[in-house]
A and B are shown apart, each in its own frame.
Chain A
Amino acid sequence: DAGVTQSPTHLIKTRGQQVTLRCSPKSGHDTVSWYQQALGQGPQFIFQYYEEEERQRGNFPDRFSGHQFPNYSSELNVNALLLGDSALYLCASSLEASGRAYETQYFGPGTRLLVL
């Protein structure tokens, strides 16, 4: 049973560039959430995708956008990168069982993004 996978593992970009991060959910899961974890902090919710639509969004600017594909995999895009975007980006998947919320989220290993 494959867990959540993310790619790439590490990424170095310069200010102003754009980046795309990828996530494949745990087998059988249909919901993907993205989190940003700055060094020494807890993960901060960016947004969640379900049925290929953004269902919920945290306090992040429009530079952060995403997509969910029919196979439930997801991408996180960040435009006009800032130095402050340097962080570990975590993807989490869950199963929207019968429309219930707050299902357990299972996390991938993350993508470490460094913006120079």
Chain B
Amino acid sequence: AQKVTQAQTEISVVEKEDVTLDCVYETRDTTYYLFWYKQPPSGELVFLIRRNSFDEQNEISGRYSWNFQKSTSSFNFTITASQVVDSAVYFCALSEASTGNQFYFGTGTSLTVIP
């Protein structure tokens, strides 16, 4: 079974629009971490954020914000006022206490921001 599901395969938005990338996870652990990474065409995964299962506070960093809801097992990522430089593939990942430092990645969402 897929531990991390990113149902949106591709999204296109016009510059300055807001966009939300969905992430749904599955785990039986009570201790786990969730991550978002950005993968530009160059291929390198760039770390964006880490949240632990005990902290459901939403987080904002500039134009980026994250909404963590344990009740729906979701960890969604919103980009406000999107820019062309935001075009990339975005991955959500899960790490569980029971499986150590192994990361489970979703299949990614390809975001295209049209100027």
Chain A residues with CB under 8 Å of chain B are 31, 33, 35, 40-45, 48, 55-56, 58, 88, 90, 92, 94, 101-110, 112
Q: Are B44 and A110 in contact (CB under 8 A)?
A: yes
B107 interface residue per 8 A CB criterion = yes
Q: Are B101 and A33 in contact (CB under 8 A)?
A: yes
B64 interface residue per 8 A CB criterion = no
For chains A and B in complex, what number of residue pairs have CB atoms within 8 angstroms? 71
Chain B residues with CB under 8 Å of chain A are 4, 32-33, 35, 37, 42-47, 50, 91, 93, 95-97, 99-108
Q: Are B95 and A101 in contact (CB under 8 A)?
A: yes
- Residues in B with CB closer than 8 Å to A88 are 43
Instruction: Tell me, in angstroms, the Cα distance from A56 to B96 when the chains sit together.
Output: 13
Instruction: Tell me, in angstroms, the Cα distance from A55 to B102 when the chains sit together.
Output: 10
Residue of B33, B93, B97, B102 most packed against chain A (CB within 10 A): B102
Question: B9: nearest residue on chain A (CB-CB)?
Answer: A40
> How distant is B90 from chain A, measured CB to nearest CB, in Å?
11
Q: Are B47 and A56 in contact (CB under 8 A)?
A: no
Instruction: Tell me, in angstroms, the Cα distance from A48 to B101 when the chains sit together.
Output: 8
Instruction: Tell me, in angstroms, the Cα distance from A102 to B52 when the chains sit together.
Output: 10
Q: Are A102 and B43 in contact (CB under 8 A)?
A: no
Q: Are B103 and A43 in contact (CB under 8 A)?
A: yes
The DSSP consensus for interface residues of chain B is: strand
Q: Are B96 and A41 in contact (CB under 8 A)?
A: no
Q: Are A109 and B43 in contact (CB under 8 A)?
A: yes
Contact of B44 among A101, A102, A108 (CB under 8 A): A108
- Residues in B with CB closer than 8 Å to A94 are 101
- Residues in A with CB closer than 8 Å to B106 are 42
- Given A42-B91, A90-B45, residue A105 in contact with residue B100 (CB < 8 A): no
- Given A88-B43, A90-B45, residue A102 in contact with residue B101 (CB < 8 A): yes
- Residues in A with CB closer than 8 Å to B91 are 42-43
Q: Can you sample 26 A-B contacts with CB below 8 Å?
A: A41-B107, A42-B93, A42-B105, A42-B107, A42-B108, A43-B91, A45-B102, A45-B103, A45-B104, A48-B101, A55-B100, A55-B101, A56-B100, A101-B101, A102-B32, A102-B33, A102-B95, A102-B100, A104-B47, A104-B50, A105-B47, A106-B47, A107-B44, A107-B46, A109-B42, A109-B44
